[in-house]
Amino acid sequence: MSEVENKHTQEDAVESPEVYFAPIVKLKDVVVKTHEEDEDPIFKMRAKLFRFDGEAKEWKERGTGDIKLLKHKKTGKVRVLMRRDKTLKVCANHYITDDMVLSPNVGSDRSWVWNVAADLVDDVAERQVLAIRFANSENANKFKDAFEDAREVNKKIASGSTNESSEEKNEPAKKDEDAEKEEEEATKDDPKEEKPQADTKEDEEEKKDAAEEKKD
């Protein structure tokens, strides 16, 4: 291509109008809820999660991502939540109960194992044996401290709710007892009606004298 032709094509390209294609369909903004809006993260750290397959008798990887301890703003309860990288699919989701104990994984100082009675993943709650592995032992110990603190928090909340429910059950009985006591006290304080007494001899003589005076 000659210089004249090249120059001509460049001028045509500069002078060509901008083309705009209006979208045929307008998409509305969609608000995606994570169900974490009412919770505050109190712990977050990257780790790899495994679950034990009882039938195959082996550990299977569940995913790699950030494991979080989330505290509910109203109830104060703490749960474990972990999502896989990129897909953000849930691979661990359960509350920390009093019977959950972190045990060191055999041959590793950066891994913990614990039993879960109901791990809610894919809308299905299943009993699982989980294991988690961190980058180093320091991170693993930080997770253990946070996990055990959360367990104590949930334990206190559970015991408090139990006491409240028992107190509520006993309230009607207490009210009945108080009402009965009030009735007894009120009955004691009520003035008793005095029965009319029979006339004495003196009263009869006074009545006779009064009658004779009237005759006179």
> Closest by alpha carbon to 136, among 49, 46, 42, 63?
46
d(CA 96, CA 189): 57
Residuewise pLDDT in 10s, the chain (216 residues): 555 555 555 555 555 567 777 778 877 877 777 788 999 999 999 999 999 999 999 999 999 999 999 999 999 999 999 999 999 999 999 999 999 999 999 889 999 999 999 999 988 999 999 999 999 999 999 999 999 999 999 999 999 876 665 555 555 555 556 555 655 554 444 444 444 455 555 566 666 665 665 555
Asked if 130 contacts 51 with a C-beta cutoff of 8 angstroms, the reply is yes
Cβ atoms within 10 Å, residue 45: 16
Q: Are 84 and 48 in contact (CB under 8 A)?
A: no
> What is the tens place of the pLDDT at every residue in 142-159?
999 999 999 999 999 999
Rounded alpha-carbon distances, angstroms, from residue 4 to 1, 7, 11, 14, 16? 8, 5, 11, 16, 18
Spatial CA neighbour of 48 closest among 82, 79, 81, 78: 82
Rounded to whole angstroms, how far apart are CA atoms 115 and 100?
6
Burial label for 157, CB within 10 Å (0-12, 13-18, 19+), is middle
